[in-house]
Structure 1
């Protein structure tokens, strides 16, 4: 069943980041939900940019990595997702992985799902976040059905950059419902996280 635009009448928006430990832990649940819904909804991913390029660098990178590793361990305890040990560093930027993930969408759902999985695995399986353009493209190398040259060109394009910039902006304009989620016992109750911007 589709509407006049040829899309499913219900849209699911997944706010995510390839380097986010919560997104990594929830990926199997979302995969199951997409399969169960079987195309009856329009599923759209918005890349939020967890690690922004204008974030202040850590004064002590080793201490930050140790703290972040414990943070990821706590989340893994909650989601039961595997995690890399040790983690080499905290990602410097989510922009490269988000650009590559968004560019992969232009090659179809199956390819983009595989690329996104590889980008997530860079940090949560291998412990080496794909936080540069070269690392993000390298993480995607060898994905079945992927045109790697096209991926590199699309990831560097103004059109894909504009789409990720739009995602970044959308993620910072949450709908009212996520601003009023009551804080319960969950370490991540589903409410939007307030930041200075």
Structure 2
């Protein structure tokens, strides 16, 4: 029953991602701007695609594999401008632990989930330590404001969250037909990847924008305007205007900003007072002082993981 007014149609933005994907990490400036502009207008849903799976063959030469992946990440961040760790300790062994923890964090609200996922990404791409065990993934989240770490530990080990991530993995392996054909226009065009069983999965990241009567897929590493155009096609009238906050307010809202992000999300002189700078192999990461006090890059002062 309604009061006679027509309810606005639902628009869903589905983000296919993985906490350990360097292209997804490099897309965060645009995605953070999009999420800010679209707040209250769309439903944004993340699907964890499992980039590093349980059944992947272990590398015959772990040191060589780590060196190869470090070069790959350096090449990606050369395009995106995102920070990369000065040294990578090892090749990520599995995406499951970080995906389970990220999915479990969604049960504690959107803001907590955003900040937990951010920490998981930073563990690899800032510190060079993949959160590829359950313990390291939980440890990465310690100190996130508003987080209940005991609940996160329990939820991330639950059968319900495991089923949700299994469903995510399966959904990511049913890509829409538009991304099966060759894409272009980007260093990472986003054509769907072939899987070992002869199927396909979305390249990461991919956004699929859906309304009841239409959809648009935007795969790979893309500009803000390409995403905004897809959104306006699916639902004319959506506002995609991004207004930068004063520098101190932007850092207070996001807690952690890369240089590419602060150029999009912050206005005025940079850095704001008391911001902490973490140097990486490809530019700084800027932390709010309260985040710096509990961030592993700054020797946080928090209790151990439950």
Give the structure-1-normalised TM-score: 0.94
The aligned residue for residue 153 of structure 1 is 154
Correspondence 1:116-131 to 2 at 5 A: 116-131=117-132
Q: Give the CA deviation at 1:187.
A: 3.0
The aligned residue for residue 191 of structure 2 is 191
Q: Does 144-153 or 36-45 show the bigger shift?
A: 36-45
Q: Give the CA deviation at 1:85.
A: 1.4
Q: Distance in 2 between matches of 1:52 and 1:70?
A: 21
The aligned residue for residue 3 of structure 1 is none
Q: Distance in 2 between matches of 1:65 and 1:118?
A: 21
Q: Does 1:62 pair with 2:63?
A: yes
Larger Rg: 2
Q: Which runs of 4+ in 1 moved over 3 A?
A: none
Q: Distance in 1 between matches of 2:133 and 2:82?
A: 24
What does the per-residue CA deviation read over 1:154-189, in whole Å, with 9 as the maximum and x for residues that have no partner?
00000000000000000011011111243x363310
- Unaligned residue ranges in structure 1 (runs of 5+): 1-5
Q: Distance in 1 between matches of 2:145 and 2:16?
A: 25
Please say if residues 18 and 97 of structure 1, whose CA atoms lie closer than 8 Å, have aligned partners that are also in contact.
yes
More strand by share: 2
Q: Distance in 1 between matches of 2:162 and 2:8?
A: 25
> Are the structure 2 counterparts of residues 137 and 189 from structure 1 closer, same or farther at C-alpha, using a change threshold of 3 Å?
same
Q: CA RMSD of the aligned region, Å?
A: 1.4
Q: Distance in 2 between matches of 1:14 and 1:187?
A: 19
Tell me how many residue pairs correspond in the alignment: 191
3-state DSSP class of the match of 1:120?
A: helix
Q: Give the CA deviation at 1:8.
A: 6.1
The aligned residue for residue 99 of structure 1 is 100
Q: Distance in 2 between matches of 1:34 and 1:186?
A: 22
Q: Give the CA deviation at 1:195.
A: 2.1
Q: Does 1:31 pair with 2:28?
A: no
Q: Give the CA deviation at 1:7.
A: 8.9
Give the structure-2-normalised TM-score: 0.61
What does the per-residue CA deviation read over 1:130-155, in whole Å, with 9 as the maximum and x for residues that have no partner?
10000000000111100000000000
Q: Give the CA deviation at 1:127.
A: 0.2
The aligned residue for residue 247 of structure 2 is none
Q: Distance in 2 between matches of 1:92 and 1:159?
A: 23
Q: Distance in 2 between matches of 1:68 and 1:186?
A: 21
The aligned residue for residue 134 of structure 1 is 135
Q: Distance in 2 between matches of 1:8 and 1:114?
A: 29
Q: Give the CA deviation at 1:40.
A: 0.6
> Are the structure 2 counterparts of residues 46 and 7 from structure 1 closer, same or farther at C-alpha, using a change threshold of 3 Å?
farther
